[in-house]
Chains A and B, each alone.
Chain A
Amino acid sequence: MKKIEYTAIKGNSLAYYGLLGGLGLVMLIGLLAVWHMEHNGHYVTGMTNQIVWGMPHVFAVFLIVAASGALNVASIASVFRKEDYEPLARLSGLLAIALLAGGLVVLLLDLGRPDRLIVAMTYYNFKSIFAWNIILYTGFFAIVGVYIWFMMDHNMYRFKKQAGLAAFVWRLILTTGTGSIFGFLVARSAYDAALMAPMFIIMSFSFGLAIFILVLMASYNWTGRELGDEVVSRLRNLLGVFVAAVLYFVIVYHLTNLYITEHHGVEKFILLEGGQFTKVFWIGQIILGGLVPLALIYAPGVRNCRKTLAVICTLIIIGGLSTMYTIIIGGQAYPLEMFPGYEVSSTFFDGVVNDYTPSIYEIALGVGGVAVSLVIVAFIIKVLPFLPTSLADKQSS
């Protein structure tokens, strides 16, 4: 195989600075929203004592899950020895780091006391899966960082495989850890499922790849570099498999739940009676995020259309956010079951389905986190050689 040539993008066009400026603005708006939330307290958000995790967590968990998925392309190249993916490995690593950073920023800035970051770093409760996750995230940065370094440094290149394997294993643990955050909440019927962690891993494949494809196509399109159909259709087929796998897992997940009598209530809630959550589930997660992309990927007429692929990826991202919304917020909206056989009411909203309307501040914070990720990518590919100069098809080059 011929040597791949990587170069940094020029990044001196007006459009490039426009992009950075635009993303910067989105970040700024996010920061203002945070300032407003922290200054007044969380009552200005849609979050309450009933829905304690809201829109920021939807975005944060989505980004973190997608981060580990974005690394997949690199893993396929180094761990599964598929050389065709080799040229994409650097970008894949970079995107993984960027997405994780964006997600963590959102998570951090939503804390009641973000100023106590030092406390979070110095006091550890090793029984807490949350504390373990902090270690997993830090480790992910380090390991992927080293992996990228080995890929770029001639002297270290021979250790690349080992580094790639380490990163691959770490990312599996990381997603399992993220899924377990919910898996450990035994008291809430919506989360009490062993399938939570593996489902998160499968979802990460799909969300991460969708974002990867979008970023890849955008950067090649905007820099006028050549991106051949071979690469694109390979990624597209892979995406199809992942989307189908996610759909399959979601079905298995809900079927298993229907099998367990205690979960009938919450299943009925999500699938049929949950109002906005039922809508988000069917329209967002299943139709827009699953069935439509699947149909489009395998539809014969639009096989090589890049625009369609972009639409598909966007739909998958929307579907991903919807999935997080139903899991995280829908799961809390369903009342805790404390007194079986009784109708429950209280001044603290026991026994009622909880309402949630996301506030503009939460959404601004979440979108701000996405902007952080994108700025990191846009900036780094300008200063370091991450993108192959050309990804043209083999026969044409």
Chain B
Amino acid sequence: MINRFLRITFILTGLVLLFPVTGSAETPLPVIHEPEGDGVKCVEPEDVMRRDHMNFILHQRDETMHEGIRTSKYSFAECINCHVEPDDNGNIAAADSKDHFCNACHEYAAVTIDCFECHADRPQKFINRGGKSSALQEEMHQMLTVIEGTGGELK
């Protein structure tokens, strides 16, 4: 009985181990868009950034979040401000597209980015919020009107 159990476990483990080997195929190297503008330099040399960007961001993340340190050198928002730009047609690639600065490499390296679950994937200046948040405001105004019976004379 135990033998059979072991055998099954063994086969299952083997199957799992086989996967990465069979799964790899030729994937083209990512295309990275250099930020435009003259004399603009990243906060660290390129090879340092390649290796350590996540550590910089992670460190800054905890300091900003918990201690209120708001220096801009390793600020995530600043990365986005420089590196994410519209293409020739004025479109900005979303964070899950391989044309997005971050995702280009991340997709290649098969490393998931969690940042854009919460952070905007583009500079604020390219976000048009016109009227959108008013949907919630509209909703609340309506409910308030009903609750207070003020008959809709709201600002």
Question: Which residues of A are interface residues toward B (Cβ below 8 A)?
Answer: 8, 345-347, 383-385
Residues of B within 8 A of A345 (CB): 147
Interface residues of B in 1-55 (CB under 8 A from A): 1-2, 4-5, 8
The answer to whether B140 has its CB under 8 Å from any CB of chain A is yes
CB of A111, distance to nearest CB on chain B (Å)? 14
* B4:A347 contact, CB within 8 angstroms: no
CB of B154, distance to nearest CB on chain A (Å)? 12
* A347:B2 contact, CB within 8 angstroms: no
Q: Which of A8, A345, A383, A385 has the most CB of B within 10 A?
A: A383
The answer to whether B143 has its CB under 8 Å from any CB of chain A is yes
| Other 14 A-B pairs with CB < 8 A, given A8-B1, A347-B144, A383-B4 | A345-B147, A346-B147, A347-B139, A347-B140, A347-B143, A347-B147, A383-B1, A383-B2, A383-B5, A383-B8, A384-B1, A384-B2, A384-B5, A385-B1
Residues of A within 8 A of B144 (CB): 347
Nearest A residue to B147 by beta-carbon distance? A345
CA distance A347 to B144 in the complex (A): 6
CB of B114, distance to nearest CB on chain A (Å)? 8
Residues of B within 8 A of A385 (CB): 1
Number of residues on chain B facing chain A (CB within 8 A):
10
CB of A89, distance to nearest CB on chain B (Å)? 18
Mask of B110-149 contacts with A, CB within 8 angstroms, 1/0: 0000000000000000000000000000011001100100
CB of A282, distance to nearest CB on chain B (Å)? 33
Nearest A residue to B7 by beta-carbon distance? A383
CA distance A347 to B139 in the complex (A): 9
Q: Is the interface of A mostly helix, strand, loop or mixed?
A: loop
Interchain residue pairs with CB less than 8 A apart (17) = A8-B1, A345-B147, A346-B147, A347-B139, A347-B140, A347-B143, A347-B144, A347-B147, A383-B1, A383-B2, A383-B4, A383-B5, A383-B8, A384-B1, A384-B2, A384-B5, A385-B1
CA distance A384 to B1 in the complex (A): 6
CA distance A384 to B5 in the complex (A): 8
Residues of A within 8 A of B8 (CB): 383
Q: Which of A8, A347, A384, A385 has the most CB of B within 10 A?
A: A347
Residues of A within 8 A of B1 (CB): 8, 383-385
Interface residues of B in 50-95 (CB under 8 A from A): none
CA distance A385 to B2 in the complex (A): 9
CB of B144, distance to nearest CB on chain A (Å)? 6
Residues of B within 8 A of A347 (CB): 139-140, 143-144, 147
Residues of B within 8 A of A384 (CB): 1-2, 5
Residues of A within 8 A of B2 (CB): 383-384
Nearest A residue to B4 by beta-carbon distance? A383
CA distance A385 to B4 in the complex (A): 12
CB of A284, distance to nearest CB on chain B (Å)? 33
Residues of A within 8 A of B139 (CB): 347
Residues of B within 8 A of A383 (CB): 1-2, 4-5, 8
CA distance A8 to B8 in the complex (A): 15
CB of A385, distance to nearest CB on chain B (Å)? 6
CA distance A231 to B126 in the complex (A): 73
CA distance A8 to B2 in the complex (A): 10
Residues of A within 8 A of B140 (CB): 347
CA distance A153 to B5 in the complex (A): 16
CA distance A345 to B148 in the complex (A): 9
A-B pairs, top 3 by smallest CB distance, nearest first, are A383-B5, A347-B143, A347-B140
CA distance A8 to B4 in the complex (A): 11
Nearest B residue to A350 by beta-carbon distance? B147
CA distance A383 to B7 in the complex (A): 11
CA distance A8 to B5 in the complex (A): 11
CA distance A345 to B1 in the complex (A): 65
Residues of A within 8 A of B143 (CB): 347
CA distance A345 to B149 in the complex (A): 12
CB of A374, distance to nearest CB on chain B (Å)? 19
Residues of B within 8 A of A8 (CB): 1
CA distance A48 to B144 in the complex (A): 20
CA distance A347 to B143 in the complex (A): 6
CA distance A8 to B1 in the complex (A): 7
CB of A344, distance to nearest CB on chain B (Å)? 10
CA distance A383 to B144 in the complex (A): 63
CA distance A345 to B5 in the complex (A): 61
Residues of A within 8 A of B5 (CB): 383-384
CA distance A345 to B143 in the complex (A): 10
CA distance A300 to B68 in the complex (A): 72
CB of B111, distance to nearest CB on chain A (Å)? 14
CA distance A292 to B139 in the complex (A): 48
Residues of A within 8 A of B147 (CB): 345-347
CA distance A345 to B147 in the complex (A): 7
CA distance A347 to B148 in the complex (A): 10
